[in-house]
Amino acid sequence: MTIEVEGVSHRFGERHVLRDVDLRLDERRVAVIGSNGSGKSTFARLLNGLVVPTEGRVRVDGLETRKQGKEVRRRVGFVFQDPDVQIIMPTVAEDLAFGLKHRGLPREEVDRRVSAVLAEYGLEEFRDHPAHLLSGGQKQLLAIAAVLVLEPAHVVFDEPTTLLDLRNKRRVTRLIRELPQRVVVVSHDLELLADFDRVVVFEGGRVVADGPARESIAAYVAMHPPL
Ligand SMILES: Nc1ncnc2c1ncn2[C@@H]1O[C@H](COP(=O)(O)OP(=O)(O)OP(=O)(O)O)[C@@H](O)[C@H]1O
């Protein structure tokens, strides 16, 4: 269960977004923090091959994103900040079934996994509910469930709590805390990350701090003294 980021730099046109990033992620819960525009989302997208770096390479469990993107995406689930970009089918159950059907699983297995995930995330009563009519928090849970139903080995979250009220934020925080998978979370929500095994701080596309949550968060806060 290893993610290796080796000699990675990334440019969008002339803009350098990541510079000289070398990381080996073995911990179960890893977070990425940093200022707006510091490159965190771009880094997250590298991990499942949504972005292929202009220099260097990224390997997930030995599979290189540049050459084996499809296999990597099967291993690495990605939860976007805005669930609306991720919810594609009309009802909750259909949305959960979509990825499984696409993988060619038999109908009974699809139904079994959809029912299990509905029960697990408290969405049973919404099985046949129109997905676009769910509340923001329910949509975020559905988007997360739609990724987890595919049983990825790693899950990357890009700002999963930003759009949520306090109750749903706590729900998602607990859900992430209890996930058995390896998780990588990009967030500005320092409370969510307080007990993470490792927190990596980006600034200007570079890693400027990297360590246990307490130390990295303290370093990040110290970089931003009150005005
Ligand atoms: N597809 C793209 N094309 C061009 N520039 C991009 C693209 N995606 C991101 N950028 C630029 O790359 C830089 C880093 O963006 P990124 O979204 O990775 O930062 P971030 O740390 O996640 O920021 P935030 O905290 O604001 O979400 C920004 O200057 C952004 O404008």
The pLDDT confidence band at residue 122, using thresholds 50, 70 and 90, is: confident
Reading the block at residue 107, the tokens are 């109908």
From ligand 1's centre to the CA of 205, what distance in Å?
A: 10
Q: Which of 191, 221, 190, 185 is nearest to 203 (CA)?
A: 221
Q: Which residue has the least CA distance to atom 6 on ligand 1?
A: 12
Residue 202 CA: which ligand 1 atom is closest? Answer: 21
The top-scoring range by mean pLDDT among 4-8, 97-101, 119-123, 148-152 is: 4-8
The predicted pLDDT at position 136 comes to 86
Task: Tell me how far apart the alpha carbons of residues 78 and 138 are, in angstroms, rounded to a whole number.
Answer: 17
CATH code at 84? 3.40.50.300
Q: Which neighbouring-strand residues pair with 34?
A: 202
Q: Which residue has the least CA distance to atom 8 on ligand 1?
A: 42
What integer is the mean pLDDT of 115-126? 89
The predicted pLDDT at position 70 comes to 93
The proportion of the chain whose per-residue pLDDT surpasses 70, expressed as a percent, equals 100
Task: Tell me how far apart the alpha carbons of residues 143 and 92 are, in angstroms, rounded to a whole number.
Answer: 10
Angle at 81 between CA 139 and CA 110, to 5 degrees: 50
* 3-state secondary structure (DSSP) of residue 68: coil
| pTM above threshold 0.90 | yes
- What's the domain count of the chain? 1
What integer is the mean pLDDT of 55-74? 96
| Sequence-distant (≥ 6) Cβ neighbours of residue 22 within 8 angstroms | 5, 6, 7, 8, 207
From ligand 1's centre to the CA of 204, what distance in Å?
A: 11
Residue ranges of alpha helices (H) inside 124-212 are 136-148, 166-178
ipTM: 0.95
Q: Could you read off the pLDDT of 177-209 as tens digits, one per residue?
A: 999 999 999 999 999 999 999 999 999 999 999
Residue 165 confidence (pLDDT) above 90: no
Structural domain of residue 102, as residue ranges?
3-223
From ligand 1's centre to the CA of 39, what distance in Å?
A: 6
The predicted pLDDT at position 38 comes to 96
From ligand 1's centre to the CA of 73, what distance in Å?
A: 21
The predicted pLDDT at position 121 comes to 83
Q: Could you read off the pLDDT of 66-78 as tens digits, one per residue?
A: 999 999 999 999 9
From ligand 1's centre to the CA of 33, what distance in Å?
A: 13
Residue 188 CA: which ligand 1 atom is closest? Answer: 25
What integer is the mean pLDDT of 109-114? 95
Greatest distance between any 2 Cα atoms in the chain: 59
